[in-house]
A and B are shown apart, each in its own frame.
Chain A
Amino acid sequence: MAALNPTDIINAGEHVFIKMPSDNVKCIVLKAGSSVSLGKFGTFKANDIIGHAWGNSYEIYDRDSKTRVYHPEGISEVEETANNNREIVDDPTSQKLTLDDIKALKSEGLKGELTGEEIVNKLKESHATFDKKTAYSQAKYLQKKGKKFHKVFTPIKPTAYSVNEYFYVKNPSKIRDIRMDTLSQLLSYSNVHSGCKLLVVDDTQGMIVSALAERMGGKGTILGLYDGDNPHYDIVKYMNFNQEILDTIKVLSWLRIHRPTDEKTPDEMQDVTQLTGKDLEGYHRRLKAYNIVEESRKTLFEGNFDALIVASQYQPESILEKLLPYVAGSRPVIVYHGTKEALLETSTWMRRCPNLLAPQLTESWLRKSQVLPGRTHPEMSTWGTGGSLLTATKVIDQPVQAALTKRERLAMEKKNAEAKRLKRAREEAESAASSPAPAPAAASVEDVADEAVGGKEEGSASTTVMDDGDESRSIKRAKQE
């Protein structure tokens, strides 16, 4: 068994998602020695969880914000009772505790004198009609109160999955509505793996780049093209990537793909031997920036990318047109968009493109269910949109001789049959006639036969070489046959 990786434990200075009893998730940067406030659920000390393995839940149990690992009780099966809701009426007085009583309980809870469960129990005991509720309703009541009074939180490790879940709930437009299932499918279609070289246009604030980088684990290259002053890969910072993984992400501005004619190298601008102090520092800074751009350009122009992934706000075809030449053969080309309609034109464009095979437009459907013993059912609300994927495979088109038409084939067969007949006739004539000198007629027969044999090739050569857009037609023809 190997030792734990730094990524397996909660580290100071990293992003952490804190899931609270209300199921809300809070994103924090965990600073050593700090206190983290979770609002009404209390406050905990960062040091109490730093250095621990991910995966546990913690309970805040006294005023000094002490925490302990929390082990949830097993979920029990709901036992069917004879209760029903016939006698339940909407009555605010069924809870005998007053607001002040509950506030007092709460403050006792914060002092650590009562646990969340004890408070919920008190609420339950002073509820006049609790016993009359159905078993399902009772369970629901306890769950609902638990969400208010429990002081249990769970630090969640940022992964592509959890980061996506967080932003999809909190601010879906930030990541252009890409939902975890769609994102996962994008990863599958892209065949991303350690060591591959990807070309990406990512306007999902780096959600896609983050997920790809995670799957590559620090080996390979992602080249992201961006417009504007800076690449907006905000999501990357939430992933707690180490330097090795961060180094796999390279960027290049669309405007800098080709070196502007007036762009000078730092050496052309300044004579390094003449520089001192701040000027020299500035020179080195410029040189570094220049080299990064040059490196990205080189990466792009070397081509042979293992996938092209586009999730842009701009018209996808206008991007594909420019970047398709840099993609290697038999590699996936994927376009993501928040709406299916935006990809319809692109899909028909792809179908016409001779270098793209089998475009496919997909949408994903995802449904979550509540799973409690005896109470399993789909959740009452589900996700509407999750985005659409358009996928195809880059192929290397080359002229293929078109299939013969029926007429051409019949003509050829006729010609061949005629040649055979003549050949047979000649052989018969040869065997019959014992004359040593070949008859002039036989010579001409030979010519005809030669021509016929070559005819097949001639026939196919004379039919037009298939032009680029005709693949589908000929596939159709092939299918019909």
Chain B
Amino acid sequence: MSLATKHTFATYKKNNTIENGDLVVLYLSKENLILIRIQEDQEFCCKFGNYKHADMVGLQYGTKLGSNTGRGFVFLLYPTPELWTLILPHRTQILYIADISLIMSYLDLKPGKVMIESGTGSGSFSHSIARTIAPGGHLYTFEYHQERVAVATKEFEEHGLEGLVTIECRDVCKNGFGLINKVDAVFLDLPAPWEAVASAKQAFRQDKIGKICTFSPCIEQISKTVTALTEQGFVDIQMYECLIRFNEVRILQISTLDEALEMERASEKKRKRALPRVLRESFKNRLQQHEQGSGSNTDHDQEDMEGEEKGESTVKKTRVDDGDHSSQGTSTSSTVGTPSSRSYADVFIPDDSAEPRESIEPKNVAVTRLPVEQRGHTSYLLFATFTPATQQPSLTERNKAGAAITASK
């Protein structure tokens, strides 16, 4: 492998230019991403046309490239662990960004950290870890499934991670990790993580703080692991669940009822299916009669009406007091007065004098929508802390010393 492909997934390329032998993620759509290695004599074919590798050489990562037929285009993206999570062929259930992110933060991963991961699975998390602990750090990853080890080994090599990752085919529950006093962090994604806790304890650097995370879908597994962690002296045991909600942003056009009715009236007029004026008048009259009938039953309504009328007259008075201020005042007060002076039925009767508009620009409102179905559970994340051996004298020695001092006094 040429130097150009060294540590591809762990670092960016300095000049950001695609060269022969480089890895490129072809972005066809959100759901369709493909990882290719540039070989100048080859081309990538799909139903929208062909993309010659030779055409990609010399382009910057991120460039939009059209197919030979002009029927489609792809984006040439730089391979990152996050993209790999979306691309990789699933051999097992994999970890996604919500869990990966929280675990990496909790385990305090940063350049130089040494870590255990078990099992390797499809290597989704391994890529993120390797990127984050480089340079100077190291990932020991264990997987008992022979074939998965073979595929992952090949992937780590192709992705330029071989210096950062050591993979071993090993049943850690039966045989332990075989590492002593070596690591800062341990991640267990195993069917029976409690069986590996004792060995994990030995693997930790004994002279400093360490963090462990186990990842189990079932609460019964968590229960057993908590017991094992407590027995082994791990402290600060905490459990989290983390999910990401992916919002779909949409623009909704929301018109007012009046606007909608106006549109409808316009089309009615156009189709000449509007109610004849006579019918409309009679409808209006009937409504008014109905209202008067019910309104007289209660004094309350009457009072209200009077009150409103009074209010209106005050408004008018004020206007007079204001004098010849402006015509603006007149228009305002007339609009203020309108609703109260109109009967309930009037509200629905359009003003015939205005020609209804045929097109209205409704208000645009940005909204979010969650998918009908979304992830409800991935796994429980169980975190705990490994405490370093102390240089301080043990409790009893201290007490003895204290007693001796008191005695001598």
Query: Which residues of chain A have a CB within 8 Å of any CB of chain B?
Result: 1, 4, 8-9, 52-57, 62, 66, 68-69, 71-72, 74-75, 77, 154, 157, 159-161, 180-181, 183-185, 187-189, 191, 193-196, 214-219, 304, 306, 328-331, 340, 344-345, 347-348, 351, 357-374, 376, 393-398, 400-404, 460, 474-475, 478-479, 481
Contact of A369 among B240, B392, B398 (CB under 8 A): B240
Asked whether, in the complex, the Cβ of A328 is within 8 Å of the Cβ of B16, the reply is: yes
Asked whether, in the complex, the Cβ of A396 is within 8 Å of the Cβ of B244, the reply is: no
Asked whether, in the complex, the Cβ of A357 is within 8 Å of the Cβ of B80, the reply is: no
Among the listed stretches B58-66, B273-281, B285-293, B329-337, which one makes contact with chain A, having 4 or more residues with CB under 8 Å of it?
Answer: B58-66
Q: Contacts A180-B102, A187-B104, A329-B63 known; A69 to B76 CB distance under 8 Å? A: no
Residue of B nearest to A457 (CB): B70
CA A363 to CA B181, docked complex, whole Å: 39
Residue of A nearest to B220 (CB): A376
Residues of B within 8 A of A329 (CB): 16, 60-63, 78
Asked whether, in the complex, the Cβ of A396 is within 8 Å of the Cβ of B207, the reply is: no
Taking A185-B98, A400-B65, A400-B70 as known contacts, 11 extra A-B pairs with beta carbons closer than 8 A to each other, sorted by chain A number, are A1-B181, A191-B81, A328-B60, A329-B62, A330-B78, A344-B367, A359-B249, A366-B240, A367-B241, A393-B75, A474-B72
Asked whether, in the complex, the Cβ of B207 is within 8 Å of the Cβ of A345, the reply is: no
Residues of B within 8 A of A75 (CB): 226, 230
Shortest distance between the CB of A160 and any CB in chain B (Å):
6
Among the listed stretches B129-137, B255-263, B297-305, which one makes contact with chain A, having 4 or more residues with CB under 8 Å of it?
Answer: B129-137
Interface size on B, residues (CB 8 A): 90
Among the listed stretches B188-196, B351-359, B381-389, which one makes contact with chain A, having 4 or more residues with CB under 8 Å of it?
Answer: B381-389
| B209 close to A (CB within 8 Å) | yes
| B390 close to A (CB within 8 Å) | yes
Q: Which of B185-219 contact A (CB under 8 A)?
A: 205, 207-210, 219
Asked whether, in the complex, the Cβ of B366 is within 8 Å of the Cβ of A74, the reply is: no
Shortest distance between the CB of A248 and any CB in chain B (Å):
12
| B94 close to A (CB within 8 Å) | no
Asked whether, in the complex, the Cβ of B368 is within 8 Å of the Cβ of A340, the reply is: yes
Contact of A396 among B62, B101, B108, B247 (CB under 8 A): B62
Residues of A within 8 A of B48 (CB): 403, 478, 481
Residues of B within 8 A of A358 (CB): 27, 30
Contact of A347 among B11, B30, B366, B391 (CB under 8 A): B366
| B346 close to A (CB within 8 Å) | no
Residues of A within 8 A of B69 (CB): 403
Among the listed stretches B35-43, B165-173, B231-239, B315-323, which one makes contact with chain A, having 4 or more residues with CB under 8 Å of it?
Answer: B231-239
Residue of B nearest to A379 (CB): B239
Asked whether, in the complex, the Cβ of B111 is within 8 Å of the Cβ of A348, the reply is: no
Residue of B nearest to A331 (CB): B62
| B128 close to A (CB within 8 Å) | yes
CA A275 to CA B179, docked complex, whole Å: 64
| B347 close to A (CB within 8 Å) | no
Q: Which of B244-270 contact A (CB under 8 A)?
A: 244-247, 249, 251
8 closest residue pairs by CB, A with B: A329-B62, A55-B209, A330-B62, A217-B111, A400-B66, A184-B101, A344-B366, A330-B61
CA A217 to CA B402, docked complex, whole Å: 44
Asked whether, in the complex, the Cβ of B75 is within 8 Å of the Cβ of A395, the reply is: yes
Residues of A within 8 A of B247 (CB): 340, 361-363
Residues of B within 8 A of A69 (CB): 390, 392, 395
Asked whether, in the complex, the Cβ of B101 is within 8 Å of the Cβ of A188, the reply is: yes
Shortest distance between the CB of A347 and any CB in chain B (Å):
4
Asked whether, in the complex, the Cβ of A373 is within 8 Å of the Cβ of B70, the reply is: no
Shortest distance between the CB of B180 and any CB in chain A (Å):
9
- In the complex, 14 of the A-B residue pairs with CB atoms within 8 angstroms, ordered by the A residue number, are A53-B390, A56-B388, A161-B105, A188-B100, A188-B128, A189-B82, A217-B112, A371-B238, A376-B219, A376-B226, A395-B62, A395-B75, A403-B72, A481-B47
| B12 close to A (CB within 8 Å) | yes
Asked whether, in the complex, the Cβ of B16 is within 8 Å of the Cβ of A304, the reply is: yes
Residues of B within 8 A of A8 (CB): 207-209
CA A304 to CA B15, docked complex, whole Å: 9
Shortest distance between the CB of A377 and any CB in chain B (Å):
9
Asked whether, in the complex, the Cβ of A364 is within 8 Å of the Cβ of B244, the reply is: yes
Asked whether, in the complex, the Cβ of A53 is within 8 Å of the Cβ of B101, the reply is: no
Q: Which of B1-35 contact A (CB under 8 A)?
A: 10-12, 16, 27, 29-30
Residues of A within 8 A of B235 (CB): 57, 72
Residues of A within 8 A of B230 (CB): 74-75, 373
Shortest distance between the CB of B173 and any CB in chain A (Å):
21
Q: Which of B63-92 contact A (CB under 8 A)?
A: 63-66, 69-73, 75-78, 80-82
Residues of A within 8 A of B241 (CB): 366-367, 369
Asked whether, in the complex, the Cβ of B64 is within 8 Å of the Cβ of A395, the reply is: yes
Residues of A within 8 A of B102 (CB): 180-181, 184, 366
Shortest distance between the CB of A221 and any CB in chain B (Å):
13
Asked whether, in the complex, the Cβ of A397 is within 8 Å of the Cβ of B388, the reply is: no
Shortest distance between the CB of A468 and any CB in chain B (Å):
11
| B106 close to A (CB within 8 Å) | yes
CA A1 to CA B208, docked complex, whole Å: 12
Contact of A193 among B132, B181, B238 (CB under 8 A): B132
| B97 close to A (CB within 8 Å) | yes
Residue of A nearest to B114 (CB): A2
Residues of A within 8 A of B368 (CB): 340, 344, 361
Shortest distance between the CB of B52 and any CB in chain A (Å):
15
Residues of A within 8 A of B395 (CB): 68-69, 71
CA A225 to CA B15, docked complex, whole Å: 25
Asked whether, in the complex, the Cβ of A393 is within 8 Å of the Cβ of B10, the reply is: no
Shortest distance between the CB of A226 and any CB in chain B (Å):
25
Asked whether, in the complex, the Cβ of B240 is within 8 Å of the Cβ of A368, the reply is: yes
Residues of B within 8 A of A397 (CB): 64
Most chain A CB neighbours (cut-off 10 Å) among B73, B100, B385: B73
| B243 close to A (CB within 8 Å) | yes
Asked whether, in the complex, the Cβ of B63 is within 8 Å of the Cβ of A398, the reply is: yes
Asked whether, in the complex, the Cβ of B64 is within 8 Å of the Cβ of A400, the reply is: yes
Residues of B within 8 A of A161 (CB): 105-106, 108
| B222 close to A (CB within 8 Å) | yes
| B182 close to A (CB within 8 Å) | yes
CA A465 to CA B368, docked complex, whole Å: 32
